[in-house]
Chains A and B, each alone.
Chain A
Amino acid sequence: MIGKDVIGWESKPVLIRIESGAVRRFTEAAGISFNNRVPPTFVGAFMADNIGGIDLMRYEALHGEQKFTYYQPVKIGDCITYTCRIKDVSEGLGKLGRMFRVVIETTGCNPMREDVYKINSTIIFIERRPEDETSLGLSG
């Protein structure tokens, strides 16, 4: 299970540079036009590898909601330090089984430590049933 004890967990800060080539690859993959601007969802791809130590082998993870708030424009060439924090965990029981709703807040800052953006991601972790390891149980 994913307990409320992970609320407040914070990743180590990660420094990235918004590279033109990476933005171009992102736009090509998504089939959108590249005009030397950073697409609004581009920074959503940057997240900690190991959120709160949640064992991803035990869960199927589905995206529920996503909110971006931009305090400053994100531009090619910018250096951003981002940190992820678990804001909330709640448990529910749906027809897919036991599930945990985890709200992760990612904050991106510039080198002056000013907030550039905040992302709130709601991820639904569905517990795999032990007797059903090979199935996602998503058909219900």
Chain B
Amino acid sequence: MKHLWDYLVNDRMPVREWSPDALQLRQYAEVSGDFNPIFLDDAYARAAGLEGVISQGMLTMTQVGAMLTDWLGDEGTLMSFEARFEKMVRAGERIVCSGYIKERCAGALICDLAAVNADGEKVLSGTAVVTINNSCRR
């Protein structure tokens, strides 16, 4: 098994695939407290010129966050995590979250992050800074 310490510049972390549905958008609205109707009401979203309800940006970011924490396990600590929401994600779209090591400095890794739809369009771009826990350094 590849450990966090073994990751070098340009190495990629395991991807995470995700496809939101209308039920998940509603459940996420309930836990996040954001009841904007473009996430919940298909007719409202269509009246706005969209093809249907769209995902909360923070739900997309949460998927990228899950990719990061699954990868880090007990070996690393997330110090910062930022995202730019580039494009709307529609319910039913297939999204692939990915990331690679952009820079490595001693026990810190700077990771470039992305979430891409089936057309190859970037819906999220981001950066994370992680430190490798002392007990996992060699």
Contact = CB atoms under 8 A, between A and B. Distances in A.
B62 A68 contact: no
Interface stretch (B1-9, B32-40, B103-111): B32-40
Nearest to B48: A136
A29 B28 contact: yes
Interface of B is mostly: helix
Given A28-B27, A32-B66, 19 more contacts: A26-B31, A29-B31, A30-B24, A30-B62, A31-B63, A32-B62, A32-B63, A40-B68, A41-B62, A41-B65, A65-B82, A66-B57, A66-B82, A67-B80, A67-B83, A68-B80, A70-B80, A134-B47, A139-B48
A32 B38 CA distance: 23
B85 A67 contact: no
B78 interface: yes
Interface in B49-64: 49-50, 56-59, 61-63
12 contacts: A22-B31, A29-B31, A30-B31, A40-B65, A45-B32, A62-B57, A63-B57, A64-B85, A70-B79, A136-B47, A138-B48, A139-B50
B10 interface: no
Nearest to A26: B31
Interface string A89-119: 0000000000000000000000000000000
Contact of B50 (A25, A44, A138): A138
Interface of B: 18, 24, 27-28, 30-33, 36, 38, 44, 47-50, 56-59, 61-63, 65-66, 68-70, 77-85
Interface in A66-95: 66-70, 73
A40 B30 CA distance: 18
A66 B61 contact: yes
A139 B47 CA distance: 9
Given A31-B18, A63-B57, A70-B78, A39 B66 contact: yes
Contacts of A44: 32, 58, 61
A50 interface: no
B66 A30 contact: yes
Highest count of chain B CB atoms <10 Å: which of A40, A120, A136, A138: A40
Contact of B81 (A45, A67, A139): A67
Contacts of A139: 48-50
